Amino acid sequence: MKKMLSILMLIFLLLPFTSAQCPESGNTIILKAPAVSRTSDGELIGIATDFIITVSPGTGHVYVETWPLAEVDMQASARLAAQIAGKVLGVDMSKYDVFIHVKSDAPIIGGPSAGGTMTVGIIAALKGWKIREDVMMTGMINPDGSIGPVGGILEKASAAYGVGAKLFLIPEGQRIQVVETTEKKQIGSIVEITSKSEKVDVVEYAKERWGLDVKEIKDIYDAVYYFTGKKIEKPPVPANLNVDTSFLKDNAVEDYDETIKYYEKIENKLNDSDISYTTYSYLKNALDEAKKKLDEAKKNLDDGRYYTALSLDFQARITIRHVDWYLDIKTGNDLENLLKSIDNEIKETENHVSNITIRGISMLQAVAASEERIEQAKSLLKDAWSNYYNGNYWNAVSSAAFAYERIQTAKFWASLGERYAKGEVIERDSLKETAREYLDNSRLIITYITSMFGELSLQDLISLMNEGEEYYLDGKYSAAIFSAMEARIQAEIILDTLGIDNETILMDKLQRMKEDARIAIAQAQKEGIYPVLSLSYYEFAQSYEKQGGLENIQTAMMFYQYAKETSTVFLGTTSPPKITEEPLISLIPNQTATPTNTTTEPLPETTRLSTPLMVSALVVGLILGFIAGRKS
């Protein structure tokens, strides 16, 4: 009896604490999302997960509780979901708190794949809308509101069917899944194991096996409609989608002319040198490769692809400078002095760029590109010093040439930013929070992919993320944002194209990304932003698309995504959109889905609606369950 009284006293002591952690008012939405869990033998299986989402007036916090714990933390994904919900509805989320309780029957890998579901739930809670119980979805939420790729779609479709879903929403472009199958055959004492890849059309497979409708969706607007029947008006697409890099024409022409002259000078210098036949042949081959790059640059220049021409000039100059400096370096002293001179140039450029006053988003993009290139030059120079100390002069000169040319591009982007300086001053510290959010979200997605599929040669992405963290610690927040963005986009492209070796499928994905990038650039221009970085990325993607081949297509996809997101990253919250209501689509003849939520009114900023203290009840229930368990 004394033990029971002690436990009851513990309950009453906990009640004030739990009450303080609960939303005192708000709308609560309950929906299900599929996730994947790992069995004891490492197999991935689909499980249904409950999301209880409450939004109430508050101060902009997002609280997440998972039970049991997820393998991948979903806090960053939840924060992004809240931001996108506010952006879509034109709502200031700093006036609300979001509480997300995730429950499942097994530890989930979770994380970003529920981002779309959380965003739908937050939007519905803000507006007091009902949610259909027979609809489920999987998909990451991206900063621009698009639904990003995920893994384990077949397992998740199975989980959706298992809890009665009639419609399963998946990210656009992911209906074709590649499944690895393993067969074991025993011949005497020898076990033969064979593996093969098989392409599965999820839409056809789910319909045939379970009668489950699977539909690809593009963005959060599509998702909200299928869950609620509400159509939120998208930002209008500008009529004129003019994408070109003519603003770089003069720079590209001048750069090409100077690089050609430099090539001719070093070609003559090599011919007049007294180096051995072997060294001469090696350096001559290097110059020949540089000339091929320059010929390619001229073709792009003539075709109006000015950023691509600049990039090819840059690649050619690295090689030419390597040959030039290698011919000059006679002693270790010569090399040491060269490295010191490059170090001074990097420091001078960094000092200049860090003191630039940023005016407007166009300038911000250019300065971010400059800062990122400065950091790359510093890293390359570090490699050069390392090779110098190890006595590897050839590689030292190679890294030094790369560092020198990279710092020249940093100067170029800084000058480009000053050319397009327009608008209000943007303080660098004001970007700190955005940089942290981008870094956290990118880290989450890379961790998610690793947890699903292993390392998958993600070291380059991890290094890119670590570079972003270093930029952040150095106070270079704009560079940190773009570094994190690049890492996340590369990770998503890996996930979206995993196992696909069909150019037609990849080209379909690429064309969607290309159009999205064009629209994003046009929207930025409509807002008065001239997205110099986005336009450059778009054109660069075109050059890879034109070449064809799986690897080039994937690279083009990556740069189209860069173009889209660099266009939209700093666009502010829009005004509240127009919302229309359409009849909910019946998925089963003569049957209407039963919507679920605890309130049906929009959540005003000034009115507080009374709701039960769910967490307090949960604590009491857990303790009473513990008592019952102890008795059995």
| Two structure tokens written together for 357 | 């006053």
Residue 418 backbone dihedrals phi, psi, to 5 degrees: -65, -30
User: What span, in angstroms and rounded, lies between the C-alpha atoms of 18 and 20?
Assistant: 5
Q: What share of the chain is helix, strand, coil (3-state, %, to 5)?
A: 60, 15, 25
Those residues with Cβ within 8 angstroms of residue 189's Cβ, 6 or more apart along the chain or in another chain: none
Burial class (CB in 10 A: 0-12, 13-18, 19+), 354: middle
What are the distances in angstroms from CA 427 to CA 263, 328, 476, 477? 42, 44, 11, 10
Contacts of 398 (CB under 8 A, 6+ apart): 322, 384
Question: What letter does residue 304 receive in the DSSP assignment?
Answer: T
Specify the long-range contacts of residues 511-515, CB closer than 8 Å, at least 24 apart: 512/172, 512/173, 512/218, 513/557, 513/560, 513/561, 513/564, 514/541, 514/545, 514/560
Active site residue 536: no
- The residue annotated as part of the active site, out of 32, 130, 156, 230, is 156
Q: Which two tokens stand for residue 143?
A: 């900063």
Q: Reply yes or no on whether 113 is catalytic.
A: yes
Report residue 366 CA to chain centroid gap: 20
Cβ neighbour number for residue 321 with a 10 Å cutoff: 21
d(CA 119, CA 110): 15
The active-site residue out of 37, 77, 104, 113 is 113
Q: Could you give the 3-state DSSP secondary structure of residue 349?
A: helix
Q: Which residues are catalytic?
A: 113, 156
